[in-house]
Chain A
Protein backbone atom coordinates (compact mmCIF):
# COMPACT_ATOMS: atom_id res chain seq x y z
CA UNK A 1 0.00 0.00 0.00
CA UNK A 2 1.46 3.37 -1.01
CA UNK A 3 2.40 5.72 1.76
CA UNK A 4 1.02 9.22 1.63
CA UNK A 5 3.65 11.61 0.26
CA UNK A 6 4.41 14.27 2.86
CA UNK A 7 3.96 17.73 1.36
CA UNK A 8 5.74 20.82 2.52
CA UNK A 9 3.39 23.74 2.17
CA UNK A 10 5.03 26.12 -0.27
CA UNK A 11 2.43 28.83 -0.46
CA UNK A 12 4.40 31.00 1.96
CA UNK A 13 7.69 30.58 0.15
CA UNK A 14 7.05 33.70 -1.91
CA UNK A 15 6.42 35.67 1.27
CA UNK A 16 9.69 34.51 2.80
CA UNK A 17 11.55 35.30 -0.39
CA UNK A 18 9.97 38.75 -0.50
CA UNK A 19 11.03 39.40 3.06
CA UNK A 20 14.64 38.50 2.27
CA UNK A 21 14.46 40.52 -0.93
CA UNK A 22 13.28 43.61 0.92
CA UNK A 23 16.06 43.16 3.47
CA UNK A 24 18.74 43.10 0.79
CA UNK A 25 17.11 45.94 -1.11
CA UNK A 26 17.29 48.10 1.99
CA UNK A 27 20.83 47.19 3.04
CA UNK A 28 22.36 47.38 -0.41
CA UNK A 29 24.38 50.48 -1.22
CA UNK A 30 25.35 51.23 -4.75
CA UNK A 31 29.11 51.40 -4.69
CA UNK A 32 30.19 54.85 -5.79
CA UNK A 33 33.87 54.62 -6.53
CA UNK A 34 34.16 57.18 -9.23
CA UNK A 35 35.72 60.58 -9.19
CA UNK A 36 38.42 62.90 -10.38
CA UNK A 37 41.84 61.37 -10.01
CA UNK A 38 44.97 63.40 -9.52
CA UNK A 39 48.50 62.68 -8.41
CA UNK A 40 49.97 64.80 -5.68
CA UNK A 41 53.51 66.16 -6.01
CA UNK A 42 56.30 64.68 -3.87
CA UNK A 43 56.65 66.06 -0.32
CA UNK A 44 58.19 69.53 -0.04
CA UNK A 45 61.25 68.15 1.76
CA UNK A 46 62.04 65.81 -1.12
CA UNK A 47 62.40 68.67 -3.57
CA UNK A 48 65.83 70.17 -4.03
CA UNK A 49 65.92 73.58 -2.31
CA UNK A 50 67.38 75.45 -5.26
CA UNK A 51 64.72 74.25 -7.67
CA UNK A 52 63.58 77.62 -8.84
CA UNK A 53 62.57 76.89 -12.38
CA UNK A 54 61.90 79.91 -14.54
CA UNK A 55 58.67 79.45 -16.42
CA UNK A 56 57.85 81.89 -19.12
CA UNK A 57 54.68 83.83 -18.51
CA UNK A 58 53.22 82.75 -21.85
CA UNK A 59 53.46 79.07 -20.90
CA UNK A 60 51.43 79.53 -17.76
CA UNK A 61 47.64 79.47 -17.70
CA UNK A 62 46.61 80.92 -14.36
CA UNK A 63 43.32 80.13 -12.67
CA UNK A 64 42.64 81.62 -9.26
CA UNK A 65 39.59 81.21 -7.06
CA UNK A 66 38.98 83.29 -3.95
CA UNK A 67 37.04 82.53 -0.80
CA UNK A 68 33.80 83.82 -2.36
CA UNK A 69 34.18 81.30 -5.20
CA UNK A 70 34.91 84.08 -7.70
CA UNK A 71 37.22 83.01 -10.50
CA UNK A 72 40.10 84.85 -12.13
CA UNK A 73 41.42 83.41 -15.38
CA UNK A 74 44.71 84.89 -16.59
CA UNK A 75 44.04 87.89 -14.34
CA UNK A 76 40.56 88.64 -15.66
CA UNK A 77 37.30 87.89 -13.86
CA UNK A 78 35.62 84.85 -15.35
CA UNK A 79 31.90 84.26 -15.13
CA UNK A 80 31.38 81.87 -18.04
CA UNK A 81 30.45 78.23 -17.94
CA UNK A 82 32.95 75.40 -17.25
CA UNK A 83 32.67 74.40 -20.93
CA UNK A 84 33.99 77.83 -21.97
CA UNK A 85 36.93 77.42 -19.60
CA UNK A 86 37.61 74.00 -21.09
CA UNK A 87 37.72 75.52 -24.57
CA UNK A 88 40.09 78.27 -23.40
CA UNK A 89 42.49 75.70 -21.92
CA UNK A 90 42.37 73.54 -25.04
CA UNK A 91 43.23 76.56 -27.16
CA UNK A 92 46.05 77.46 -24.80
CA UNK A 93 47.58 73.96 -24.76
CA UNK A 94 47.34 73.44 -28.51
CA UNK A 95 48.67 76.88 -29.42
CA UNK A 96 52.08 75.72 -30.73
CA UNK A 97 53.45 79.26 -30.64
CA UNK A 98 50.81 80.72 -32.96
CA UNK A 99 49.56 83.36 -30.52
CA UNK A 100 52.53 85.10 -28.85
CA UNK A 101 50.53 85.47 -25.64
CA UNK A 102 49.81 81.74 -25.39
CA UNK A 103 51.88 78.59 -24.94
CA UNK A 104 54.94 77.56 -27.01
CA UNK A 105 53.97 73.90 -27.18
CA UNK A 106 51.88 71.44 -25.14
CA UNK A 107 54.94 70.07 -23.35
CA UNK A 108 55.80 73.45 -21.87
CA UNK A 109 52.22 74.50 -21.18
CA UNK A 110 51.32 74.49 -17.51
CA UNK A 111 47.92 75.07 -15.98
CA UNK A 112 48.33 76.69 -12.60
CA UNK A 113 45.37 76.38 -10.29
CA UNK A 114 45.32 78.30 -7.05
CA UNK A 115 42.50 78.44 -4.54
CA UNK A 116 41.94 80.03 -1.19
CA UNK A 117 41.44 78.15 2.06
CA UNK A 118 37.86 79.46 2.06
CA UNK A 119 37.03 78.19 -1.44
CA UNK A 120 34.27 75.60 -1.35
CA UNK A 121 35.02 72.06 -2.43
CA UNK A 122 32.18 72.26 -4.91
CA UNK A 123 33.80 75.12 -6.83
CA UNK A 124 37.20 73.46 -6.60
CA UNK A 125 35.82 70.30 -8.22
CA UNK A 126 33.96 72.29 -10.89
CA UNK A 127 37.13 74.04 -12.07
CA UNK A 128 39.28 70.91 -11.74
CA UNK A 129 36.71 69.06 -13.83
CA UNK A 130 36.92 71.75 -16.55
CA UNK A 131 40.74 71.54 -16.62
CA UNK A 132 40.75 67.75 -16.83
CA UNK A 133 38.02 67.84 -19.49
CA UNK A 134 40.29 69.97 -21.70
CA UNK A 135 43.15 67.48 -21.52
CA UNK A 136 40.96 64.39 -21.84
CA UNK A 137 39.28 65.88 -24.92
CA UNK A 138 42.68 66.47 -26.52
CA UNK A 139 43.83 62.94 -25.67
CA UNK A 140 40.62 61.36 -26.90
CA UNK A 141 40.85 63.27 -30.18
CA UNK A 142 44.41 62.08 -30.73
CA UNK A 143 43.56 58.48 -29.94
CA UNK A 144 40.41 58.64 -32.08
CA UNK A 145 38.03 57.54 -29.36
CA UNK A 146 35.27 59.22 -27.42
CA UNK A 147 36.08 60.95 -24.14
CA UNK A 148 34.06 58.34 -22.26
CA UNK A 149 36.04 55.53 -23.85
CA UNK A 150 39.24 57.36 -23.02
CA UNK A 151 38.30 57.61 -19.35
CA UNK A 152 37.50 53.90 -19.27
CA UNK A 153 40.67 52.79 -20.95
CA UNK A 154 42.94 55.01 -18.91
CA UNK A 155 41.80 53.37 -15.69
CA UNK A 156 42.92 49.95 -16.95
CA UNK A 157 46.38 50.24 -18.45
CA UNK A 158 47.37 46.61 -17.96
CA UNK A 159 45.48 45.80 -21.13
CA UNK A 160 47.99 46.23 -24.01
CA UNK A 161 45.39 47.68 -26.39
CA UNK A 162 44.41 50.29 -23.80
CA UNK A 163 48.07 51.05 -23.22
CA UNK A 164 48.60 51.59 -26.95
CA UNK A 165 45.67 54.00 -27.24
CA UNK A 166 46.77 55.74 -24.05
CA UNK A 167 50.25 56.36 -25.43
CA UNK A 168 48.78 57.41 -28.77
CA UNK A 169 46.49 59.94 -27.10
CA UNK A 170 49.25 61.50 -25.05
CA UNK A 171 51.63 61.33 -28.04
CA UNK A 172 54.33 59.36 -26.29
CA UNK A 173 57.65 59.60 -28.09
CA UNK A 174 59.95 56.60 -28.61
CA UNK A 175 62.32 57.95 -25.94
CA UNK A 176 59.54 57.71 -23.34
CA UNK A 177 58.73 61.38 -22.95
CA UNK A 178 55.21 62.56 -23.55
CA UNK A 179 54.36 65.39 -25.94
CA UNK A 180 51.16 66.43 -24.17
CA UNK A 181 51.60 65.79 -20.44
CA UNK A 182 48.83 66.93 -18.14
CA UNK A 183 50.84 69.61 -16.42
CA UNK A 184 48.46 70.73 -13.72
CA UNK A 185 49.89 72.56 -10.76
CA UNK A 186 47.55 72.83 -7.78
CA UNK A 187 49.13 75.41 -5.54
CA UNK A 188 48.93 75.60 -1.77
CA UNK A 189 45.83 77.66 -0.97
CA UNK A 190 46.14 81.25 0.18
CA UNK A 191 45.03 82.13 3.69
CA UNK A 192 42.86 85.17 3.14
CA UNK A 193 39.45 83.61 3.77
CA UNK A 194 38.57 80.65 5.93
CA UNK A 195 40.60 79.03 8.67
Chain B
Protein backbone atom coordinates (compact mmCIF):
# COMPACT_ATOMS: atom_id res chain seq x y z
CA UNK B 1 0.00 0.00 0.00
CA UNK B 2 1.59 3.16 -1.05
CA UNK B 3 1.06 6.35 0.91
CA UNK B 4 1.58 8.41 -2.17
CA UNK B 5 -1.32 8.69 -4.44
CA UNK B 6 -0.80 8.78 -8.07
CA UNK B 7 -0.70 12.22 -9.54
CA UNK B 8 -4.05 13.51 -10.61
CA UNK B 9 -4.39 13.65 -14.31
CA UNK B 10 -4.90 17.43 -14.46
CA UNK B 11 -2.99 19.77 -16.66
CA UNK B 12 -0.22 21.46 -14.70
CA UNK B 13 1.25 23.81 -17.24
CA UNK B 14 1.50 27.51 -16.70
CA UNK B 15 -0.09 29.31 -19.61
CA UNK B 16 2.68 31.05 -21.51
CA UNK B 17 0.67 32.72 -24.22
CA UNK B 18 0.66 36.05 -22.35
CA UNK B 19 4.37 36.00 -21.65
CA UNK B 20 5.30 38.08 -24.72
CA UNK B 21 2.85 40.74 -23.55
CA UNK B 22 4.40 40.87 -20.11
CA UNK B 23 7.89 41.00 -21.55
CA UNK B 24 6.93 43.73 -23.98
CA UNK B 25 5.48 45.77 -21.16
CA UNK B 26 8.75 45.52 -19.24
CA UNK B 27 10.64 46.26 -22.41
CA UNK B 28 8.71 49.47 -23.04
CA UNK B 29 9.20 50.52 -19.46
CA UNK B 30 12.96 50.21 -19.73
CA UNK B 31 13.03 51.76 -23.19
CA UNK B 32 11.26 54.83 -21.91
CA UNK B 33 13.22 55.21 -18.68
CA UNK B 34 16.64 54.44 -20.08
CA UNK B 35 19.11 57.19 -20.70
CA UNK B 36 22.25 56.51 -22.60
CA UNK B 37 25.30 57.68 -20.78
CA UNK B 38 27.09 60.24 -22.86
CA UNK B 39 30.45 60.09 -21.18
CA UNK B 40 32.36 57.24 -19.68
CA UNK B 41 33.59 58.12 -16.26
CA UNK B 42 37.30 57.63 -15.82
CA UNK B 43 37.56 58.36 -12.12
CA UNK B 44 36.53 56.34 -9.10
CA UNK B 45 33.03 57.18 -8.02
CA UNK B 46 32.15 55.96 -4.58
CA UNK B 47 29.77 58.69 -3.54
CA UNK B 48 29.38 59.58 0.14
CA UNK B 49 26.08 59.12 1.94
CA UNK B 50 23.88 61.81 3.41
CA UNK B 51 20.33 62.24 4.65
CA UNK B 52 19.19 65.74 3.67
CA UNK B 53 19.02 65.23 -0.07
CA UNK B 54 17.47 67.68 -2.47
CA UNK B 55 16.42 66.85 -5.96
CA UNK B 56 17.48 68.84 -8.97
CA UNK B 57 14.50 70.54 -10.46
CA UNK B 58 15.56 70.80 -14.09
CA UNK B 59 18.12 68.53 -15.64
CA UNK B 60 18.82 70.80 -18.58
CA UNK B 61 20.32 73.35 -16.21
CA UNK B 62 22.83 70.96 -14.72
CA UNK B 63 26.50 70.55 -15.58
CA UNK B 64 28.28 67.51 -14.26
CA UNK B 65 31.77 67.31 -12.88
CA UNK B 66 33.46 64.17 -11.61
CA UNK B 67 36.32 64.18 -9.13
CA UNK B 68 38.22 61.17 -7.86
CA UNK B 69 41.24 58.96 -8.23
CA UNK B 70 41.71 57.97 -11.90
CA UNK B 71 40.79 54.40 -12.74
CA UNK B 72 43.94 53.98 -14.80
CA UNK B 73 46.42 54.79 -12.07
CA UNK B 74 49.44 53.64 -14.10
CA UNK B 75 48.69 56.28 -16.72
CA UNK B 76 47.35 59.17 -14.68
CA UNK B 77 48.79 58.64 -11.20
CA UNK B 78 46.94 58.29 -7.93
CA UNK B 79 46.14 61.93 -7.24
CA UNK B 80 42.43 62.75 -7.62
CA UNK B 81 41.60 64.37 -10.92
CA UNK B 82 38.74 66.47 -12.26
CA UNK B 83 36.81 65.09 -15.18
CA UNK B 84 34.30 66.99 -17.28
CA UNK B 85 32.79 65.63 -20.45
CA UNK B 86 35.46 63.16 -21.52
CA UNK B 87 38.63 64.88 -20.45
CA UNK B 88 40.62 65.60 -17.34
CA UNK B 89 41.01 69.29 -16.58
CA UNK B 90 42.97 71.35 -14.10
CA UNK B 91 41.26 73.73 -11.66
CA UNK B 92 42.35 76.71 -13.75
CA UNK B 93 40.34 75.41 -16.72
CA UNK B 94 37.10 75.37 -14.74
CA UNK B 95 36.09 78.91 -15.73
CA UNK B 96 36.41 78.05 -19.42
CA UNK B 97 34.33 74.93 -18.93
CA UNK B 98 31.61 76.82 -17.06
CA UNK B 99 31.44 79.38 -19.84
CA UNK B 100 31.07 76.69 -22.48
CA UNK B 101 28.31 75.05 -20.43
CA UNK B 102 26.56 78.38 -20.02
CA UNK B 103 26.77 78.99 -23.75
CA UNK B 104 24.60 75.90 -24.29
CA UNK B 105 21.73 77.44 -22.30
CA UNK B 106 19.30 80.16 -23.21
CA UNK B 107 20.44 83.58 -22.21
CA UNK B 108 17.86 84.09 -19.49
CA UNK B 109 18.69 80.79 -17.85
CA UNK B 110 22.44 81.19 -17.65
CA UNK B 111 22.51 82.33 -14.04
CA UNK B 112 20.54 79.25 -13.00
CA UNK B 113 23.24 76.81 -14.02
CA UNK B 114 23.80 74.26 -11.26
CA UNK B 115 27.06 72.38 -11.06
CA UNK B 116 26.60 68.83 -9.82
CA UNK B 117 29.83 67.64 -8.28
CA UNK B 118 30.18 63.89 -8.10
CA UNK B 119 33.08 63.51 -5.76
CA UNK B 120 34.58 60.25 -4.56
CA UNK B 121 34.49 59.74 -0.78
CA UNK B 122 38.25 59.35 -0.66
CA UNK B 123 39.02 62.64 -2.42
CA UNK B 124 40.43 65.41 -0.28
CA UNK B 125 38.95 68.82 0.40
CA UNK B 126 41.91 70.63 -1.16
CA UNK B 127 41.12 69.93 -4.80
CA UNK B 128 37.40 70.55 -4.25
CA UNK B 129 38.10 73.89 -2.61
CA UNK B 130 40.25 74.88 -5.60
CA UNK B 131 37.36 74.07 -7.92
CA UNK B 132 34.93 76.01 -5.72
CA UNK B 133 37.15 79.08 -5.85
CA UNK B 134 37.15 78.90 -9.64
CA UNK B 135 33.38 78.38 -9.73
CA UNK B 136 32.94 81.52 -7.66
CA UNK B 137 35.09 83.42 -10.15
CA UNK B 138 33.06 81.99 -13.04
CA UNK B 139 29.87 83.05 -11.26
CA UNK B 140 28.40 79.55 -11.22
CA UNK B 141 27.49 79.54 -7.59
CA UNK B 142 24.72 76.97 -7.38
CA UNK B 143 26.37 73.79 -6.30
CA UNK B 144 25.15 70.30 -5.57
CA UNK B 145 27.34 67.71 -3.90
CA UNK B 146 25.96 64.52 -5.34
CA UNK B 147 25.43 61.92 -2.63
CA UNK B 148 23.56 58.71 -1.99
CA UNK B 149 20.66 58.36 0.39
CA UNK B 150 21.67 57.02 3.77
CA UNK B 151 19.34 54.43 5.17
CA UNK B 152 18.14 55.60 8.56
CA UNK B 153 17.33 52.95 11.08
CA UNK B 154 14.17 53.73 12.98
Residues of A within 8 A of B (CB): 10, 13-14, 17-18, 20-21, 24-25, 27-29, 31-45, 115-122, 124-126, 128-129, 132-133, 136, 147, 151-152, 154-156, 188-189, 191, 194-195
The reply to whether B27 and A154 contact each other, CB–CB distance below 8 Å, is: no
Known: A35-B144, A40-B142. 16 other contacts (CB 8 A): A21-B30, A27-B36, A28-B35, A29-B37, A33-B56, A33-B144, A33-B146, A34-B147, A36-B147, A40-B135, A42-B139, A43-B136, A118-B124, A122-B122, A189-B125, A194-B126
With contact pairs A24-B34, A40-B135 given, residues A35 and B20 touching in the complex (Cβ less than 8 Å): no
Q: Report how far A40 CA is from B35 CA in the complex, Å.
A: 30
The reply to whether B116 and A33 contact each other, CB–CB distance below 8 Å, is: yes
The reply to whether B125 and A117 contact each other, CB–CB distance below 8 Å, is: yes
Residues of B within 8 A of A (CB): 16, 19-20, 23-24, 26-27, 30-31, 33-37, 47-57, 59, 62, 79, 114, 116, 119-126, 128-129, 132-133, 135-137, 139, 141-149
Using Cβ atoms and an 8 Å threshold, which residues of chain B touch A41? 136, 141
Using Cβ atoms and an 8 Å threshold, which residues of chain B touch A189? 125-126, 129
With contact pairs A33-B116, A194-B126 given, residues A125 and B145 touching in the complex (Cβ less than 8 Å): yes
Contact of A120 among B51, B56, B121, B137 (CB under 8 A): B121
The reply to whether B55 and A152 contact each other, CB–CB distance below 8 Å, is: yes
Interface of B, secondary structure class, is: mixed
B85 CB, min distance to chain A CBs, angstroms: 17
Q: Report how far A178 CA is from B137 CA in the complex, Å.
A: 27
The reply to whether A194 and B125 contact each other, CB–CB distance below 8 Å, is: yes
Using Cβ atoms and an 8 Å threshold, which residues of chain B touch A35? 50, 53-54, 116, 144-147
With contact pairs A37-B142, A40-B132, A121-B48 given, residues A18 and B23 touching in the complex (Cβ less than 8 Å): yes
Using Cβ atoms and an 8 Å threshold, which residues of chain B touch A151? 52-55
Q: Which residue of A lies closest to B136 (CB)?
A: A43
The reply to whether B125 and A21 contact each other, CB–CB distance below 8 Å, is: no
